[in-house]
Structure 1
C-alpha cells in the first residue's frame, strides 16, 4: 500500500475484506450446513460481495492503481458466480411445435393477509396465468382451501387432498398418470411430483418449497432484529433445508424419467443446497437462456434469485423469462423447453 494516502489505504483494507469474503464463498457449495452452518450463511451475501468487488475494481481502475488487480482476480476466479447472478446475453423463445413451457410461481397465499394493498391479487394472478398459458404450471404457497380453476388443465393438489399438505400444486396441459407428495417432517413445507405424458415421453415434474428463514424484507422491521438472532435463524433454516433436500434426492433417485425440478429453494445459486439439487445432470434454465439479474424475490438490498426451474440434460432450453409483475413477494419465472 505504499504511495497511498490514508483514505485510500482504508478503502483498500475494506476492499481486501470484501475480496477475501468473496473468495471464501467459492467453497460454500461444498460445505454442508449441518457441519458448518455459520459459514453457509455467507452464501446469502454473495450478490452484494460481487457488486462491492466490481465497484472497487472500477474505483481503482479509474485511478490507474495496481490495487484494481485484487478484485479483478477474485471476480475472474468466480466468473461462474457472476454468470449465476447476471446474464449478459439473452435467448429468445424459438417458435416451434416441439416446444413446451414451464412456469414456477410462489403466489404467497394469494395475498390472504393483505401484504399488498390491492384487493384483487388473486384475480390478477389468475389473469396473468391465463395470459401466459404455460403448459406446466407449478405454484408454491398455494391455498387448496381457496382454489383456482384453469380450463384445459389437469391438476394435482389444487384442491384439498387427504393426507397431503397444502401449499404446492401442479397444473398440466398434458395428462397426469401418477402423482404424489414427499412430506417434510416438523414443517408445513413439502415436495410434490407428477408424472405426465407428452406424446411418447413420460416426464416427471417436481415442485417444492424448502424451509424459509422468515427474515423480514421490510427495512424498518429488519432493523429491530438483532444480528445474533438473525444468524441463529438462518443457520437453523439451512440445516433443515439440508434434511429436506436429502429426502428429496433419495426420492428422485428411484425414478428413471426425464425430470424437471421447480420451486422456491429459499436459498441462492451459491449454496450447498442448490448444488446438491442441481447436481451435474441438471441445467439451470436461467443460466442457459435468461438475461439480466434474474431476480425472483423482492428483497430491497440486492437482487436475490431463490426460485428455480432446473431441467435435466434430456431437454433443450430454448428460452427463459422472469416477469416483473408485483403480485407476490416473488416474481414468476418461465422457461421454454423441447425434447429431441
Structure 2
C-alpha cells in the first residue's frame, strides 16, 4: 500500500512538472513573438497580449515548486529569465544618478481621449497648468478633440505657453493628433498608412535654436479589446460568439497596426535629422514597438523608475504609450508618468539633454 502511494505521488509530481512546461513555453513564445509579423500566425500574438498573466502564473508556479523543494522549479526560472527583455520594458530601476541636462528639452506625449462625454474633466486651464509645471517644450497629443469648447480651450491655453502648433487628421471625422511647441515648426507632413483605419501619424521638423530635429506623433490602430469585451452569461452560444468576435477583431487590428508601424519605420529611416518618437502604440512591447524602436532608445527603460504602465484600464497591466529617441544626439535624464484622470491613458513626460558633440555638428550652417 505504501509503495503504491509513493508511485502515485511520483506520477502526480511528474504530471504537474510536465504541465508546468505549458505556461513556461507560452511565456517564452510571448516574449519573442514580436519577431513574427502579425500577418503570419496571428493567433500566436495573443501570447504577447497575455504576457503579464503568463508571467504571474509562472511566478506562482515557481513559488509552489520552491515550497516543494523540487527541481521542477528550474522550468519557471528559465521562462522568467528568457522574458527579462520584456520585464525590463515594464519595470525599471536605473543604477546610479543621472547627470542633469545642460541643454534641456522636455517632451510630453498624451492620448487625451477626444470623447467629450468621457473626458469632461479635461479643462484647458488645468491641463495648461500641468504642462507649465513640467516646463514642457514639445507636447504631442493623440485623440485631439475635433471641435467644441474642449478643443478651443486647449488651443487657447496651450498656445500661451507653446506658441507654435499644428493639428492634423487623415480625413474629416477621423482621429486627430496635435503638436504644440516652444520652438518653430519648420515643416509637418503626414505618414501615409496603407489602410483606411482613420489612425494617423505625422512628423514635424522643429528648429531648436539652431538645431533641427524631427518629431513623430503617432496614434496606431487600437486593439478594440475594450469595445469587444466578452461578457460571460449562461447563454454559452452568445459567449462563444463574443469570444470569436474578439479574437477576429484583435487579430485583424494587429495586422493593420503592424503595417502602420512598417510605414512609420520607413519614415524614421528617411529622416535627415535626429528623431524623437511620441506614440500611442495601442499595444505593449510587440512587433510594432520593436520595428519602430529599432536602434532608438526607450525613455522609460533609460530613466524610468519602478513599474511602468500607461493604460489606466485593464487592471493597469499595459504600457502602450512611449517616447523613443535617437541616442546619438539625445540623452534621457528624467521620465515621469503621473496618474491624471483626464483620460484612460497616462501622460508621458520625458526630459532630454542634447548638449553633445553630435548635436553640435547639427547646428544649421
Question: Could you state the TM-score of these two structures normalised by the residue count of structure 2?
Answer: 0.82
Partner of 1:172 in structure 2?
A: 181
Tell me whether 1:258 sits opposite 2:274 in the alignment. yes
Partner of 1:228 in structure 2?
A: 244
Query: CA contact under 8 A between 2:142 and 2:177: conserved in structure 1?
Result: yes
Partner of 2:122 in structure 1?
A: 121
Partner of 1:306 in structure 2?
A: 320
Query: CA contact under 8 A between 2:229 and 2:246: conserved in structure 1?
Result: no
Query: CA contact under 8 A between 1:91 and 1:290: conserved in structure 2?
Result: no
Q: Aligned partners of 2:228 and 2:249: how far apart in 1?
A: 17
Per-residue CA distance 1:119-159 (angstroms, 9 max, x = gap) = 43234434322332311111001114223131131343348
Q: Aligned partners of 1:291 and 1:72: how far apart in 2?
A: 24
Query: CA contact under 8 A between 1:293 and 1:303: conserved in structure 2?
Result: no
Structure with higher helix content: 2
Query: CA contact under 8 A between 2:101 and 2:333: conserved in structure 1?
Result: no
Tell me whether 1:338 sits opposite 2:353 in the alignment. yes
Q: Aligned partners of 2:47 and 2:299: how far apart in 1?
A: 24
Write out aligned runs for 1:241-320 (5 A): 241-269=257-285, 271-279=286-294, 281-301=295-315, 303-314=317-328, 315-320=330-335
More deviation in 67-76 or 244-253? 244-253
Q: Aligned partners of 2:173 and 2:208: how far apart in 1?
A: 26
- Does the residue aligned with 2:88 lie in a helix, a strand or coil? helix
Cα 1:88–1:66 shift into 2, 3 Å: farther
* Cα drift, residue 255 of structure 1: 1.5
Partner of 1:69 in structure 2?
A: 74
Query: CA contact under 8 A between 1:164 and 1:183: conserved in structure 2?
Result: no
Q: Aligned partners of 2:319 and 2:84: how far apart in 1?
A: 17
Query: CA contact under 8 A between 1:108 and 1:141: conserved in structure 2?
Result: yes
Q: 2:106 aligns with which of 98, 101, 121?
A: 101
Tell me whether 1:38 sits opposite 2:43 in the alignment. yes
* Cα drift, residue 286 of structure 1: 0.7
Q: Aligned partners of 1:128 and 1:10: how far apart in 2?
A: 56
Partner of 2:236 in structure 1?
A: none
Write out aligned runs for 1:45-194 (5 A): 45-89=50-94, 94-109=99-114, 111-114=115-118, 119-123=120-124, 124-145=126-147, 146-147=151-152, 148=154, 149=156, 150=158, 151-158=160-167, 167-184=176-193, 185-194=195-204
Query: CA contact under 8 A between 2:163 and 2:180: conserved in structure 1?
Result: yes
Structure 2, unaligned runs of 5 or more: 1-5, 234-238, 357-365
- Does the residue aligned with 1:104 lie in a helix, a strand or coil? strand
Greater relative contact order (CA < 8 Å, ≥ 6 in sequence): 1
Query: CA contact under 8 A between 2:62 and 2:73: conserved in structure 1?
Result: yes
* Cα drift, residue 106 of structure 1: 0.4
Query: CA contact under 8 A between 1:90 and 1:290: conserved in structure 2?
Result: no
* Cα drift, residue 336 of structure 1: 1.1
Cα 1:237–1:179 shift into 2, 3 Å: same
Q: Aligned partners of 2:172 and 2:128: how far apart in 1?
A: 27
